[in-house]
Each structure stands twice: as C-alpha cells, then as structure tokens.
Amino acid sequence: MEFHRIDLEQYPRKEHYWHYRQAVPCTYSMTVTLDMTHMLQKIKEKGFPFYPVIIYGISRVVNAHQEFRMALDELGRLGYYDVVHPNYTIFHPKTETFSSLWTPYQENLSAFLRQYQENLVRYGDQPTAFSPMPDIPNQFFISCIPWVSFTEFHLNIQHGYNHFAPIFTIGKYQRSGEKILLPLAVQVHHAACDGFHTARLTNELQAWADYFSLPE
C-alpha cells in the first residue's frame, strides 16, 4: 500500500475540490439499474456464487480510477492510494446481524475468489460486527440488501465530510422480461468526483458485466 499526495496547485479539479470541501461540503448518491443477465448466466453455468463475483467487478472498476481511491492523510492533505480493497458485509441469519470482512483486491478473478473463500471460512462465522482481521486505511465499502429491490438508497453519515472512500449498496435483482436487473447505489464525496466520474464507473461496471467470462 502506498499513499500518494496530490499537489493541489497542479490538480485539475482544484477549484471543485475546495468548493466541495469548504463552500458547499457535500456527498451525493446515485442509484443505477444494472443488467446482470449475461453475467448471471455465465456464473450459473459454472456454479459460481454471485456476491463475491460482483464484489470483484466493483473492485475492478474502482481501482481503475484515481478519484475512487482518494483519501485524506492524518494532516488532512489530499492524496490517493495505489490500490484499495473491498470491505463487505456478511449476514448472520440466526442473529439477524452482520460482520464486515475485507479481501485484498487482485486483478486475477480466480485468485480473488480463492482469497474471498478463505476469509469467509476463517472469519465468516464471527458474531461481532467487525472481524478480527487487521484494519487497513485503504478500503472502500460494499453492503448488500438482497431482500428488496430499490430505486433509491441514501446513507446519512454524521461527520462524513472527511470520508472519501466510495460506498456501494447492492439490492435484490429482479426479472424484467428476459432481463435480470440489479439496483446499485453509489455514495461518494463531491470533492473527490463529479457525476461524470460516477457515471463512467457505473457504465464500465455494466460493460464488464456485459462481456463477463469466467476463467477456464
């Protein structure tokens, strides 16, 4: 993990950054509907689980863009990590609670899925909200609400204006004709990215799902 400081004098979004940090500090959320028809067909053929595969897909597009790897250092200075890792929720039906785990992002899907499964076996049954895995600063966050399909989802984070890591919330997918559609909410800091950047991320995630293929 390496944190790279950004020279704000050379930063193309310098004015935007200060505007959304000082004048109008704000986050925003965007909910999109993704077509998962092709991807779900492919993983069903091989018996792969959906959740870790979509976690990988989100991680892939997040790590492709600097604006979604941004953070503030201990002195409040802007920078970005060379890689960020997904922190995701695991539901416990007996207690109706969840735990948060994280898996190191790897470009190789098979390697990522193996590590995800190892973490699930080792930490998935922990009853606490946060697993005993070591905490790391270069994380972003994914949660899943597989019981309901939504058209909007918003998080209200107290003192959240220093939080730059994106937060993704996955809903229940549903059929629409021959298509299988998935709601996905994305919450970001406006100082880090604009609507263009979030739209590009979700469009790239859709393209990944459209052309998804599993390793042999």
Q: Return the active site residues.
A: 190
Amino acid at the residue 101: L
Alpha helices in 64-215 (DSSP H): 109-123, 195-210
Per the CB < 8 A criterion, the answer to whether 215 and 109 are in contact is: yes
Q: Report the C-alpha gap between 83 and 139 in whole angstroms.
A: 9
Q: What is the CA radius of gyration of the chain?
A: 18
Q: What is the dihedral of CA 90, 202, 176, 54, to 10 degrees?
A: -30
Q: Report the C-alpha gap between 2 and 12 in whole angstroms.
A: 22
Query: What would the two tokens of residue 132 be?
Result: 């005993």
Query: What would the two tokens of residue 86 be?
Result: 């997904």
Query: What would the two tokens of residue 117 be?
Result: 């499964």
Q: Report the C-alpha gap between 21 and 189 in whole angstroms.
A: 9
